[in-house]
Amino acid sequence: MLIVGSALFAVGDVMFVNPYLMAPGGTYGLSNVFNTLWPWKISLYAICMDVPLLIVGTLILGPKFGFKTILSTALIFGFTFVLESVWGYNPVIFDGKIMDTPIEGLSMVQIPHDGGWFTPDYFLNTVVAGLIYGVAIGLIFRSGATSGGSDIISMILHKYTKISLGTLVMIVDGCITLSTLVAFGDIRLPIYSIIIIVIEGKVIDLVVDGMKSYKTMFIVTDNIEAVRDYILNDLKRGGTYMTGKGLYKGAERQMIYVTLDRADMVKLKSNLHRIDPGAFVNIMDSSEILGTGFKALPKE
């Protein structure tokens, strides 16, 4: 996961983000801006910023985490250096014709290869870049590392706040995208960069947490045994039985707390009308479920 994620990150940055002058956060986002203003390799700019952040991240997040992130940073640096040396900064989403003058908004002066697949398209390029970045960083996160740079800041904040990694990446990197407006004076650039971050954040959450969606149900019913029997025997799931009092009449009520995947939730909800038409049900989204029958508790 670490190797594939690092390679995808380099592909997204060199072949999709940099040619369109976008900076969707992170040290590589800033490096894209510096690369356009003062030509030097993206990878060299980024490594100069990553090393101090790696030192801080290793001290706070531990030596094991630090080693994985150092490895990730080295892999991204290597893949990016090779790709920009071999491929250059030519966009994939372009018609591939040789051009003597730059296309408005693109950073290249010549396209040294032909037979491309697409005409210049900011929106399509933005969507593809966001998907590639999201899968890349999600794989790196799942391996227990980060892609370095501002992702280290996101992981540190995640350790203490428990806010989802995708959300934190969006917050931290969103502050960096404005550099494109200052550097190039084009309002489109930070807007498209933010769209990349939004897509990237959602994909990261999907890669890290998985596609499966869980629902938590609180069921207040007078026919507790029938509901219990259906959950245990038909759905093959467990739950928690609780007793409480209603606020209006003060009458004692019985309640079941149960967490199910989306398919089982639909089945239970459909059968509740048959079991107890007067049941009261509260259904909530659950982003992550840990414990027996679900995802194992983390070891650290």
Residue 138: HSE in the Cβ half-sphere, 13 Å Cα cutoff: 23
Token pair, residue 250, equals: 């003060």
In one letter, which amino acid is 109?
A: V
List, in order of start, the domains of the chain with CATH numbers.
2-209 (no CATH), 214-286 (3.30.70.120)
What are the angstrom distances between the C-alpha of 39 and each of 36, 178, 181?
6, 20, 18
Give the confidence band of 211 by pLDDT, cuts at 50, 70, 90. Answer: low
- Three-state secondary-structure class, residue 93: coil
What are the phi and psi torsion angles at 210 (to 5°)? 95, 165
Confidence at 108, pLDDT banded by 50, 70, 90: very low
Average pLDDT, the chain: 80
Residue 295's pLDDT band (boundaries 50, 70, 90)? low
Helices (H), the chain: 2-12, 26-37, 42-61, 63-86, 122-142, 150-161, 165-184, 188-209, 224-229, 262-275
Whether 150 has a pLDDT exceeding 80, the answer reads no
- Exposed/middle/buried for residue 141 (C-beta within 10 Å: 0-12, 13-18, 19+): buried
Angle among Cα 268, 274, 276 to the nearest 5 degrees reads: 85
Q: What angle do CA 143, 148, 149 make, to 5 degrees?
A: 150
- Rounded distance, CA 32 to CA 23, Å? 6
Angle between helices 165-184 and 188-209 (to 10 degrees): 160
Q: Residue 97's pLDDT band (boundaries 50, 70, 90)?
A: very low
pLDDT of residue 8: 94
Neighbours of 97 (CB within 10 A): 11
Distance CA(241)–CA(249), nearest Å, equals 21
Contact 87, 116 (CB under 8 A): no
* Residue 109: band (very low, low, confident or very high) from pLDDT cuts 50, 70, 90: very low
Q: What pLDDT was estimated at residue 65?
A: 60
> In the chain, pLDDT over 90 holds for what percent of residues?
15
Residue labelled with tokens 């992130």:
69
Distance, CA of 50 to CA of 234 (rounded, Å): 53
> What's the confidence (pLDDT) of residue 112?
41
The mean per-residue pLDDT over the stretch 122-144 comes to: 89
Instruction: Give the residue from 192, 205, 227 showing the smallest Cα distance to 135.
Output: 205
Cα 187 to Cα 85: distance, rounded to the nearest angstrom? 30
The structure's pTM equals: 0.68
Q: From the centroid of its chain, how far is CA 27?
A: 17
pLDDT digits (tens, 9 = 90+) for 264-292: 888 888 888 888 888 888 888 776 677 66
Residue 147 corresponds to which tokens in the numbers above? 């892609």
Round to whole Å and give the CA distance between 44 and 40.
Answer: 7
Mean pLDDT of 36-53: 88
